């Protein structure tokens, strides 16, 4: 029987971070009222069900290379923030940050990161958000967003040139 205020489980299986990175960040809290008698078998079964949902999540890593191009002002392709994210379709999940980098002065970049989704057959849905000021340096920042092909490590995804002013459309 339990009479604890909180039971906290963190990294219960002690896996290496590269196998299940989301386990190291996961926290499961079970509220147990003081002096309430609770059958320990129910609590253990509940915790095992929650833990199994985390274990059966699919985790994948990717590395992307490419070059940003701003034809009108080439300098605007340098020092541009690039975010690699995982789109989560479940309503209670937010889109996970997989990685972040900034482009070099010539517009080239390399970004890598890992993402995890629930379910053994549910791979991350990666996409990139690029915050830039092309074609004009004055005014608001523009965001360019697009989905990526699911090419996971050890392979590297080369997305080639990305024209920030939409001149390639």
Share of the chain above pLDDT 70, in %: 62
- Residues 6 or more apart whose CB falls under 8 angstroms from that of 141 comprise 131, 132, 133
Same domain, 48 and 78: no
Same domain, 27 and 72: no
Average pLDDT in the 112-133 region? 84
Neighbours of 110 (CB within 10 A): 14
Same domain, 88 and 145: yes
153 or 42, which is more confident?
153
Same domain, 49 and 63: no
Q: Which of 1-5, 100-104, 136-140 has the least mean pLDDT?
A: 1-5
Give the residue numbers spanning the domain of 15.
6-55
Average pLDDT in the 16-35 region? 47
Contact 116, 59 (CB under 8 A): yes
pLDDT band at 110 (very low <50, low <70, confident <90, very high): very high
In 3-state terms, what secondary structure has residue 48? helix
Same domain, 24 and 97: no
| CATH number, domain with residue 95 | 2.60.40.3330
Q: How far apart are CA 78 and CA 20, in angstroms?
A: 34
Same domain, 31 and 64: no
Nearest to 153 by CA among 95, 81, 98, 103: 98
pLDDT value at position 56? 56
Does residue 50 lie within any of the structural domains? yes
Q: Is the pLDDT of residue 154 over 50?
A: yes
Same domain, 43 and 118: no
Q: How far apart are CA 117 and CA 50, in angstroms?
A: 14
Average pLDDT in the 97-122 region? 88
pTM of structure: 0.63
Same domain, 11 and 85: no
Same domain, 34 and 101: no
Same domain, 141 and 76: yes
């Amino acid at each position: 029987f339990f009479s604890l205020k909180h039971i906290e489980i963190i990294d219960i299986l002690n896996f290496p971070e590269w196998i299940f990175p989301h386990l190291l960040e996961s926290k499961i809290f079970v509220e147990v009222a003081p002096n309430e008698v609770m059958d320990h078998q129910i609590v253990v079964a509940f915790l095992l069900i929650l833990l199994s949902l985390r274990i059966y999540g699919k985790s994948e890593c990717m590395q992307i290379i490419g070059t940003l191009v701003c034809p009108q002002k080439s300098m605007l392709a340098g020092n541009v923030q690039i975010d690699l994210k995982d789109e989560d379709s479940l309503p209670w999940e937010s889109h996970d940050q997989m990685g972040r980098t900034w482009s070099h002065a010539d517009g080239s970049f390399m970004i890598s990161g890992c993402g995890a989704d629930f379910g053994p057959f549910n791979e991350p849905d990666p996409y990139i958000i690029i915050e830039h000021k092309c074609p004009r340096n004055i005014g608001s920042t523009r965001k360019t967003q697009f989905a990526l092909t699911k090419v996971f490590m050890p392979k590297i995804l080369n997305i080639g040139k990305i024209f920030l002013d939409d001149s390639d459309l």
